[in-house]
Amino acid sequence: LFWQQKSTVDNAQSQINSLKTQLANLQETGQVSSVQSVASQNSPCMVRVDANDPGFQSSGSGFIVDVRGYIMTNEHVINNSTTINVTLSDGKQSAATVTASDAKMDLAILKLSTNTANLVAVVLGTNNDIVIGEDAVAAGFPLGTDLPGPVSFSGGIISAMRSMNGGQYIQTDVTINPGSSGGGLFALSGKLIGIPTAAVIPF
């Protein structure tokens, strides 16, 4: 009986060691990630977007989608603004102009007005990277200028896919705070899979 128990323990330990080796191999090849690695990979890609019009200022988030200085954010962040200022992850600031926007999809693309070197762009995912029940990470600048950088990250899961107002939306229980609109929603692979655009706030 003792020998059988010892043999069972040895087999279990062998299986554990094998799983550890497989996990290490997957991590080395980039097939398995963590919230920490998502944050490390995407922190340089995130920006704060401050939009101004006469008598009003709004602040949201965005991310670098192209190293030539193109930023993506929510349309409602920059709607009706007369001036837009973008703060990069290293604290550098640049004016920006709107190159394209779509109110229905709540998306806007901005272009930095100054040439900035060493920009880092997000890696775009596809629908295949959106898996219900898997972990997701949101990045943004909650509370805007009231809580200046660095960028904040929060974790949760992908709860569901929903069709609303003619568009496809990712439902997630990741905390989305005011100011995080226009930021990034990432899979654990580090790929961008969505843009936070709305949150359910309990009363």
Q: Which residues are catalytic?
A: 76, 106, 181
How many other CB atoms are there within 10 angstroms of residue 194's CB atom?
21
Q: For the chain, how far is it from start to end, CA to CA, in angstroms?
A: 61
- Cis ω before 54 (30° cut-off from 0): no
- DSSP state letter for 7: H
Burial environment of residue 37 by CB neighbours within 10 A (0 to 12, 13 to 18, 19 or more):
middle
Helix/strand/coil percent split, the chain, to 5: 25, 40, 40
Alpha carbons within 13 A on the beta-carbon side of 75: 10
